[in-house]
Chains A and B, each alone.
Chain A
Amino acid sequence: MKFWKAFLKLDRRIIYLVVALGVIIPLLWPMGLPMRTSPEVQVVYDDIDALEPGSRVWLAMDYDPASQPELQPMSKAIMRHCFEKNLRVLVMTLWPGGPNLIVEALDSVSAEFAAEGKNLIEGTDYVNLGYKPGGVAVILGSGQDLKDTFPTDMFGAATATMPVLEDLNSIKDLDYMVEIAAGSTADWWIVYGQKNYGFPLAIGCTAVSASQYYPYLNSKQITGLLGGLRGAAEYELLTGRPGIATAGMDAQSVVHLIVVLAIIFANIAYIVTLRKGGA
């Protein structure tokens, strides 16, 4: 009784310490627990894998550093898969804090490929279209007149004659699109983009909003869904290039168990003290 009462008054700093250890220990001594692939991730992988070489994939990286640990691995895993399959990648963002995350991702992924002897050329194999304000209007503008909405790439080079954008005047001619989202931009790409211009669309999002996109998955408005770090890790494993997301999953396991145990024991304590307290 006394024990449970004291347990309920546990100092929050002890919880913080347990969480910190739950993160650090599995990172230093990984267990490498196996993970099965969710059907909604597999479908995205299969779709991209089946595209013809030279097909154009639009990658919207709609997030900023706040959700970068969760979503940057996802974007990179998609980029790696596309480049491996010789697809052309068109990257942009609707978030003002995001453009240099595109630079970081393209820079590090193309360096990986260069190390493997495959040199990717900016403007031919990929383009960084950078940021535009206006949200929905940017999506509609890209559907009406892509090169007028993005007259230059992120660094000021004209898009009109860029080989990667050859004969592409609207997002309706895209072969595939992946939207990596930290907020409601995913809804915009579904409602204003996919619905109006008909390109196949997959969503990758933070675990905060992942549960919201199941209705769109069910209505087939989106092809697949990568939810949070787990989604990124599964994709990394599918491409055969396990990275930082896969490495983080053991720590996820342990802290999730900590949170679950915290809820269960706090509730046992709550019920025990309630009964004995005669409330």
Chain B
Amino acid sequence: MATFFRKQLPILLAFVFGMTMLIRYYVPHPISEQIYNEFIKWVIIIAGFAAILGILSLLHYHWNKIKRRQPGYGFSFVTYIAFFTMLVVGLISGSISETGSPLEAGTGFHWMYINLMVPMQSTMFAILGFFVASAAFRAFRARNPEATLLLIAAILVMLGRVPLGEAIWGSFPTISDWILNVLNMSGQRGILLGVGLSQIAMALRILFGIERTYMGGGD
């Protein structure tokens, strides 16, 4: 019985729910429509809990680091202090703001978001600007016909997308638009169709219980 709940039940549920949703698409009926509407609301609520799980496991990771005194565990304290500060500021901001929500402009919470979270996250990704230049210099070599095509397309698109390229030669934007709208379009369409077909295959594998990777976690 126990193995039924752990092994067969999930596969059965995936099949039943999947088929219900699939049939409703092709055979719309007030009842199936209502089930569909209710299911969508469910998914939003379940997804919210999944997000909470993500938050909990991150906090758990840093808690373990502190507990085991792993190298650099002092930084994990920084994470915890920052977390509780943001949490408490949020709660206080909420209780004193007009709407009862800390999210509006003018609260301490919004201040911390704009002046701490935004600059740090933005800069973390801005660093990639330096790396992309360095990578272009180091890795982009015309070693064979394929690499040469890649390189030429990249250079033409780069020159066609900035005003300076346009100033150097008026036809750069035309060429880059043509590459994007014709050659790039046909390649991207091929990729899109390939991915679409594999998504359909995956959906069928899930419905019929062949794909079970989602069952990971405990036995």
In the complex they form, whether A and B have CB atoms below 8 Å apart is answered with: yes
Interface: B32 (CB within 8 A): no
Q: B188, A212: Cβ atoms under 8 Å? A: yes
Given contacts A97-B121, A145-B37, A260-B158, contact A134 B48 (CB under 8 A): yes
**What sequence of 0s and 1s flags, for each residue 2-24 of chain B, a beta carbon within 8 Å of any chain A beta carbon?**
00000000000000000000000
C-alpha gap A260/B165 in the complex (Å): 11
* Range of interface residues on A (Cβ < 8 Å): 35 or more
C-alpha gap A95/B199 in the complex (Å): 23
C-alpha gap A33/B173 in the complex (Å): 14
**What sequence of 0s and 1s flags, for each residue 38-59 of chain B, a beta carbon within 8 Å of any chain A beta carbon?**
0011011011101100000000
Partner of B43, one of A137, A253, A260: A137
C-alpha gap A231/B165 in the complex (Å): 16
Interface-lining segment among A46-54, A77-85, A112-120, A153-161 = A153-161
C-alpha gap A99/B133 in the complex (Å): 32
Partner of A230, one of B104, B159, B162: B162
Interface: A67 (CB within 8 A): yes
**CB-based A-B contact count at 8 angstroms:** 175
List of A residues within 8 angstroms of B50 by Cβ: 133
Q: B44, A35: Cβ atoms under 8 Å? A: no
C-alpha gap A18/B136 in the complex (Å): 14
Interface-lining segment among A100-108, A171-179, A197-205 = A100-108
**What sequence of 0s and 1s flags, for each residue 115-145 of chain A, a beta carbon within 8 Å of any chain B beta carbon?**
0000000000000001011110110110011
List of A residues within 8 angstroms of B177 by Cβ: 38
* Range of interface residues on B (Cβ < 8 Å): 35 or more
Chain A residues numbered 8-39 whose CB sits less than 8 Å from any CB in chain B: 10, 12, 15-16, 18-20, 23, 33-36, 38
List of B residues within 8 angstroms of A257 by Cβ: 162, 164-165
List of A residues within 8 angstroms of B142 by Cβ: 267, 270-271
C-alpha gap A23/B130 in the complex (Å): 11
Interface: B83 (CB within 8 A): no
Nearest chain A CB to B218's CB is how many angstroms away? 24
Which of B104, B110, B181: most chain A CB closer than 10 A? B104
Q: B105, A107: Cβ atoms under 8 Å? A: yes
Nearest chain A CB to B124's CB is how many angstroms away? 7
Interface: B192 (CB within 8 A): yes
Interface: B117 (CB within 8 A): yes
C-alpha gap A92/B140 in the complex (Å): 40
C-alpha gap A23/B129 in the complex (Å): 10
**What sequence of 0s and 1s flags, for each residue 207-229 of chain A, a beta carbon within 8 Å of any chain B beta carbon?**
10001101101100000000110
List of B residues within 8 angstroms of A6 by Cβ: none
**What sequence of 0s and 1s flags, for each residue 181-205 of chain B, a beta carbon within 8 Å of any chain A beta carbon?**
1001100110010000000000000
**What are some 17 contacts across the A-B interface (CB < 8 A)?**
A16-B134, A35-B163, A97-B117, A130-B103, A134-B46, A144-B36, A145-B37, A148-B41, A157-B99, A228-B161, A252-B163, A256-B164, A256-B165, A259-B136, A260-B158, A263-B155, A267-B151
Besides the known contacts A155-B103, A262-B136, 10 further A-B residue pairs in the complex with CB atoms under 8 A apart: A101-B118, A137-B43, A141-B44, A214-B181, A252-B163, A255-B133, A257-B165, A258-B133, A262-B133, A266-B140
Interface residues, chain A, with chain B CB atoms under 8 Å away:
10, 12, 15-16, 18-20, 23, 33-36, 38, 64-69, 96-97, 99-101, 103-104, 107, 130, 132-135, 137-138, 140-141, 144-145, 148-149, 154-157, 207, 211-212, 214-215, 217-218, 227-228, 230, 249-250, 252-260, 262-264, 266-267, 270-271
Closest 7 A-B residue pairs measured CB to CB?
A: A253-B164, A33-B163, A137-B43, A134-B47, A134-B44, A65-B121, A215-B189
